[in-house]
Amino acid sequence: MEPSEPHRGRVSRAAAQDDPRVIRRAFVDLMLTSKPAQLSPTQRVAYQAFWYDSAIRNGGHVPYLTAQPLEAIQQVIASLELLGADAQADLLREALERWRERERPPAGQTPSYLRGTVPGEGEFLDLDSFYAECQPAIPELLERYLDENFAEFIQYDEEN
């Protein structure tokens, strides 16, 4: 079910004119504080790419795949492709294929082989390393996507 009115970041037009970073901060805040059900389909593309990028930069593919229901990952891949993050989509597709090659714990359960390990170690280290080299990077693509879909993400609040 689509939200009747999706969440949007609210900023003062004057504040945005004084400091364009206000818009970027409102976008990041929207990504951090929203749930997918509160977002429009356009916003969910950014949301999924934002959280994938954050997870890989802060731990790698193993913790990401451990925490995600596998059926949701195909939608993340589609969102990455819509965003133009083709290299990252290919890496996630490869990670998913590797993940499915052997039995894994259910989503949300930290397997014993991950407890106490350093993020980025293990069977996905090559993909984690390649991810850091992908161009264009997801933050750059998200900025472009925000600019192209501004009204979906930001609402000017003339009261502030």
Quickly list H helices, the chain: 13-18, 21-33, 41-57, 61-67, 70-83, 86-100, 125-133, 138-148, 150-153
pLDDT at res. 111 = 57
Within-domain flag for 4: no
> Is-contact 89 77, C-beta < 8 A?
yes
pLDDT score at 8? 87
Least confident of 9-23, 98-112, 128-142: 98-112
Percent of the chain with pLDDT over 90: 62
119 pLDDT exceeds 60?
A: no
pLDDT at 116: 45
Q: Which residue has the tokens 């749930």?
A: 35
> What is the extent of the structural domain holding 129?
9-107+117-156
Question: Does any domain span residue 25?
Answer: yes
Say how far apart CA 49 and CA 46 lie, in whole Å: 5
Domain count, the chain: 1
Q: Which H or E run includes 154?
A: strand 154-156
Domain membership of residue 138 (yes or no) is yes
Share of the chain above pLDDT 70, in %: 85
Indicate whether 83 belongs to any domain.
yes
* 122 in a structural domain: yes
63, part of any domain? yes
- Residue 112 within any structural domain of the chain: no
Tens-place pLDDT, residues 50-107:
999 999 999 899 889 988 888 899 999 999 999 999 999 999 999 999 998 888 766 6
Distances in Å between the alpha carbon of 41 and those of 1, 46, 59, 98, 103?
11, 9, 27, 29, 32
Give the pLDDT confidence score for residue 87 in this predicted structure: 98
pLDDT at 11: 86
Cα separation of 125 and 114, whole Å?
13
Residue 3 within any structural domain of the chain? no
